[in-house]
Chain A
């Protein structure tokens, strides 16, 4: 269980987030939506332990986040960011192996190699392993980085829960890979795993999310089951766009048309 209590965050005099209260339940896929500058990434960085100078409390299984050592937290929490700039040549194998760093001290164990193997096979990126990361396309880089963060929390650890944070993981991906990645995440979700991701496309939220959270100007304006809370009214309110929700025959969820 991951609990946010009364999160307030300011940079200088600018209020980025105010009064955020969320309980992220394990075994569920949580999606955060909102317009640019609404505080989505800040919220994700506070929740994952990157931003530390905020007001309020973040609890991981009843432990305050700032009382968990960085090295310990890294064994059960991973984060996919949007930054893919690596200033030196680095092979894909070397990069994915870093996902196991929190789990071994000097040499990777047999188990670490096993995990890497499973992840690489699962994401179908075996053909990229010997490539230099910098020569990959944006979409390939994104999939390789995803493999790294997945390898980090691939197995049930000593801790009660595992946490996977994804900041716009669908960026740069073709629709086939967007769908593939979301399906992979859905399959990966177990009762001890909390997945929190930022997405832009409301349709993916309708199709795949268990819980959605809408941020606008730093406040949480709606949270709940996507089918219940995503309405044309909410979309107009948050995104200033007139939209329609259409029920497609044979599909369990509605789709949004702008």
Chain B
């Protein structure tokens, strides 16, 4: 096989090329010269001289950065959760986080019409992210508190309670969709499939700050996550303070999923599948798995977003449709390959 260094270099180059393509291609194409002009004018403090420069600076760039960082964070989150639960089938939002966010957002879509007009103008665009974030964190907190046991909190009970709360969140959202009027129900639906079309620079800065926190945390999580591969008891014998570690990683993961989901909606499959792809490339050592998942996750989500923009241009397909449509077959392929190897041995 390839060695690790060449995989890193290849993935980094691929990511750069995909980024460039994502910036240039779309409903409006942007050339290299227009990009250069836009950057030049920006630093000279001039207003953009053409519509292309405006699209580049205010629409394309934030979108690409938001998408890239979201892909990286969702993939890392998948690695975190699969490692924590020692289960390859776990998704980032599995313990109520995604469903909580979806429920929170659906409340806003349905009830925001009853807000006074001047209120709506003031806080309107912030309401969906805010409620999604609250729903996500509350649901996960609920899961953690319910599964907490004074003697020993089993990781399995967190997972099972998580599944239950997830179901409750989805049914809550289902109810909101049911009582919603048609356009509102459509909004809920779209939000649940995710989109990067509303990206702006504020969001980029927030997720960038989050990314920096995540990168610093990764260094501390590598050894505990590796040790957990052996089992929870084994990790304790290797000096991991399991209780503390579990709390830290669950809090960080909730923040990661809640923030991303509140900005771009629920994007399925990326956090599940990217860790699997990367394990095939570099193995399960989190020292390689985590940074590589960031690279691959960013590329994969950028590609998905590109497809979402180009396939039915000038209109857009929700990105969740693309990620699930392409992700599911890849997942089955990887699974079959693995089962095949297992039965071979």
A positions within 8 Å CB-CB of B: 45, 48-50, 53, 69-75, 77-79, 81, 83, 85-91, 94-95, 98-99, 101-102, 106, 134-135, 149, 152
5 closest A-B pairs by CB: A74-B239, A88-B284, A71-B239, A102-B239, A79-B237
- Apart from A74-B237, A86-B230, A89-B284, what 17 extra A-B contacts exist at CB < 8 Å? A48-B237, A70-B239, A83-B233, A87-B86, A87-B87, A87-B88, A88-B229, A89-B279, A89-B283, A90-B283, A94-B226, A98-B226, A98-B227, A99-B238, A101-B226, A134-B342, A134-B345
Q: Chain A nearest CB: distance from B282 CB in Å?
A: 10
Interface string of B71-114 (1 = CB under 8 A from A): 00000000000100011100000000000000000000000000
Q: Chain A nearest CB: distance from B134 CB in Å?
A: 33
CB <8 Å contact, B237 and A78: yes
Q: Given contacts A98-B226, A101-B239, A135-B345, is CB(A83)–CB(B234) below 8 Å?
A: yes
CB <8 Å contact, A83 and B231: yes
Q: Given contacts A71-B241, A74-B239, is CB(A87)–CB(B229) below 8 Å?
A: yes
Chain B contacts for A72, CB-based, 8 A: 239
Among B229, B231, B234, residue most surrounded by chain A Cβ atoms (within 10 Å): B234
CB <8 Å contact, B236 and A90: no
CB <8 Å contact, A106 and B219: yes
Complex CA–CA separation, A69 to B240 (angstroms): 10
Interface string of B210-240 (1 = CB under 8 A from A): 0000000001001100110111011011111
Chain B contacts for A101, CB-based, 8 A: 223, 226-227, 238-239
CB <8 Å contact, A70 and B285: no
Chain A contacts for B285, CB-based, 8 A: 90-91, 94
Q: Chain A nearest CB: distance from B160 CB in Å?
A: 17
Q: Chain A nearest CB: distance from B2 CB in Å?
A: 15
Chain B contacts for A78, CB-based, 8 A: 237
CB <8 Å contact, A86 and B239: no
CB <8 Å contact, B240 and A70: yes
CB <8 Å contact, B239 and A88: no
Q: Given contacts A88-B279, A90-B285, is CB(A81)–CB(B233) below 8 Å?
A: yes
CB <8 Å contact, B231 and A81: yes
Complex CA–CA separation, A72 to B236 (angstroms): 11
Chain B contacts for A98, CB-based, 8 A: 226-227, 230, 238
Closest to A93 in B: B285
Chain A contacts for B88, CB-based, 8 A: 87-88
Q: Chain B nearest CB: distance from A54 CB in Å?
A: 11
20 contacts between A and B (CB under 8 A): A45-B233, A49-B237, A53-B151, A53-B152, A71-B240, A73-B239, A79-B233, A81-B231, A81-B237, A86-B229, A87-B86, A87-B88, A88-B82, A88-B88, A88-B284, A94-B283, A95-B230, A98-B230, A101-B227, A135-B341
Chain B contacts for A73, CB-based, 8 A: 239
Complex CA–CA separation, A118 to B204 (angstroms): 50
Q: Given contacts A74-B237, A102-B239, is CB(A91)–CB(B283) below 8 Å?
A: yes
Q: Given contacts A87-B87, A135-B345, is CB(A74)–CB(B230) below 8 Å?
A: no
CB <8 Å contact, A77 and B226: no
Interface string of B301-345 (1 = CB under 8 A from A): 000000000000000000000000000000000000000011001
Q: Chain B nearest CB: distance from A12 CB in Å?
A: 11
CB <8 Å contact, A152 and B233: no
Q: Chain A nearest CB: distance from B289 CB in Å?
A: 9
Closest to B234 in A: A81
Closest to B223 in A: A101
Chain A contacts for B229, CB-based, 8 A: 86-88, 90
Among B82, B227, B284, residue most surrounded by chain A Cβ atoms (within 10 Å): B284
Chain A contacts for B236, CB-based, 8 A: 49-50, 70
Complex CA–CA separation, A94 to B284 (angstroms): 9
Complex CA–CA separation, A13 to B234 (angstroms): 27
Closest to A88 in B: B284
Complex CA–CA separation, A98 to B239 (angstroms): 11
Q: Chain A nearest CB: distance from B31 CB in Å?
A: 45
Q: Chain B nearest CB: distance from A9 CB in Å?
A: 12
